[in-house]
């Protein structure tokens, strides 16, 4: 319960820091949602997609010699999703509408991904 | 990269109901008739490959090399099956066939269809060519059906597991994640109108 509380606190803080986010979630690398804060949508599906992007991103990094995977993004004409590695066990995904401050998203989300990793590794 | 063939084989045997799978008693009975059954090799091999070479989809897969080389696959299997033993090595060999099928493009419908042909060919040959007493021919056919079910299950499951293992390895998705993606996708599928 403490882990879930910690993760929900982190996601709440992230959404407060970046109000343009419409969703933020933490999933296991196997695609199970373990904490989420979403305006709408299916957390199960988004978690599975985030884990898929993480797995593929890691494999792409290995293939081109890019070292350890850190993050990737998917942009559409209505919005964008950023996916961050959160340690060996989890992935952080955030969804923002088009025109959101990408620099601010990265600044806050990278910190949160690091903290998620610490919460789950300990 | 490939699936663990021992694991695949063990899983198939755990899933197959014992009454439906090939048993050690079946193996002993089959080996006991090996000398008679060996006489069917040329007939089975010729009929089997006549069908494969007559169908464009299967002929395309067999296009490399001489027919006699291609025929060796079935000859070796038939000889090894009549010799026994039906040990872990035998079943893992069948599992390896599933992996080879993925690589060369042999589909499960091709494999299962040819098993059906083989069983029909055996049924006719046991009585007409070997002149076995009906009771013995019936028992052998029951055994061949259980062998067919077991080998088909191992090859088909190995095909699937190897396909998934390669997909998992190439995309970085763990098998658990792939299973989850399948579950999430199918949870939203309305099956009520599909009979």
- List the domains of chain B with CATH numbers: 5-187 (1.10.490.10)
Taking an 8 Å cut-off on Cβ atoms, the answer to whether A48 and B184 are in contact is yes
| Closest Cβ–Cβ partner in B174, B176, B184 for A44 | B184
Based on the structure, what is the number of domains in chain A? 1
What is the Cα–Cα distance from A60 to A83, expressed in whole angstroms? Answer: 14
Indicate the pLDDT class of residue B147, thresholds 50, 70 and 90: very high
B187 contacts on A by Cβ (under 8 Å) = 44
- Mean pLDDT rounded to a whole number for chain B: 94
| Closest Cβ–Cβ partner in A55, A60, A62 for B174 | A55
Indicate the pLDDT class of residue B141, thresholds 50, 70 and 90: very high
- Report the candidate in B124, B129, B122 with the shortest Cα–Cα distance to residue B148: B122
Per the structure, the complete domain to which residue A10 belongs is given by 2-121
Q: pLDDT value at position A72?
A: 98
Q: pLDDT value at position B157?
A: 97
A positions 40-69 inside 8 Å of B (CB): 44-45, 48, 51-52, 54-60, 62
- A95-109 pLDDT per residue, tens: 999 889 999 999 999
Taking an 8 Å cut-off on Cβ atoms, the answer to whether A45 and B180 are in contact is no
Q: pLDDT value at position B168?
A: 93
Interface test with A, best of B174, B180, B188, B189 (most A CBs within 10 A): B180
What is the Cα–Cα distance from A116 to A89, expressed in whole angstroms? Answer: 10
Q: pLDDT value at position B194?
A: 67
What is the Cα–Cα distance from A4 to A1, expressed in whole angstroms? Answer: 5
Q: Give all strands of the β-sheet with A71-75 in edge-to-edge order.
A: A33-38, A21-28, A90-97, A79-85, A71-75
Between chain A and chain B, the number of residue pairs with CB atoms below 8 A apart is 43
Q: pLDDT value at position B190?
A: 81
Taking CA atoms, B109 is separated from B61, B156, B167, in Å, by: 14, 10, 21
- Report the candidate in A55, A63, A65 with the shortest Cα–Cα distance to residue A31: A55
Helices (H), chain B: 5-15, 24-32, 34-37, 41-54, 56-61, 67-83, 88-104, 108-128, 134-171, 175-187
B177 contacts on A by Cβ (under 8 Å) = 29-31, 48, 51-52, 55
Taking an 8 Å cut-off on Cβ atoms, the answer to whether A48 and B180 are in contact is yes
Q: For chain A, which ranges sit under pLDDT 50?
A: none
Residue B195 has pLDDT above 70, yes or no: no
Q: Which residue of A has its CA nearest to B173?
A: A55
**What distance in Å separates residue A102's CA from the closest CA in chain B?**
27
Indicate the pLDDT class of residue B193, thresholds 50, 70 and 90: low
CATH code of A112's domain: 3.30.450.30
Q: Percentage of residues in chain B with pLDDT exceeding 70?
A: 98
């Amino acid at each position: 319960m403490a882990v879930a509380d910690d993760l929900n606190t982190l996601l709440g803080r992230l959404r407060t820091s970046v109000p343009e986010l419409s969703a933020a979630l933490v999933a296991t690398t196997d695609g199970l949602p373990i904490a989420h804060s979403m305006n709408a949508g299916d957390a199960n599906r988004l978690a599975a997609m985030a884990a898929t992007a993480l797995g593929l991103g890691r494999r792409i990094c290995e293939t081109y010699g890019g070292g350890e995977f850190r993050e990737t993004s998917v942009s559409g004409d209505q919005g964008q999703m950023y996916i961050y590695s959160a340690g060996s066990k989890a992935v952080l995904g955030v969804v923002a509408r088009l025109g959101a401050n990408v620099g601010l998203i990265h600044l806050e989300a990278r910190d949160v991904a690091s903290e998620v990793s610490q919460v789950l590794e300990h | 990269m490939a699936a663990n063939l021992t694991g695949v084989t063990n899983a198939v045997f755990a899933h197959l109901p014992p009454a439906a799978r090939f048993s050690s008693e079946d193996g002993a009975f089959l080996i006991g008739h090996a000398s008679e059954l060996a006489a069917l090799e040329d007939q089975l091999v010729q009929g089997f490959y006549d069908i494969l070479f007559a169908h464009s989809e299967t002929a395309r897969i067999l296009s490399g090399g001489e027919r006699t080389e291609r025929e060796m696959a079935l000859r070796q299997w038939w000889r090894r099956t009549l010799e026994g033993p039906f040990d872990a090595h035998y079943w893992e060999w069948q599992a390896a066939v599933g992996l080879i099928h993925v690589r060369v493009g042999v589909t499960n419908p091709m494999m299962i269809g040819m098993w059906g042909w083989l069983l029909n060919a055996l049924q006719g040959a046991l009585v007409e060519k070997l002149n076995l007493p009906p009771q013995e021919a019936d028992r052998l056919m029951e055994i061949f059906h259980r062998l067919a079910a077991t080998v088909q299950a191992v090859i088909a499951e190995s095909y699937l597991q190897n396909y998934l293992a390669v997909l998992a390895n190439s995309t970085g998705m763990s098998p658990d994640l792939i299973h989850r993606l399948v579950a999430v996708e199918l949870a939203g599928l309305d099956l009520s109108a599909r009979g």
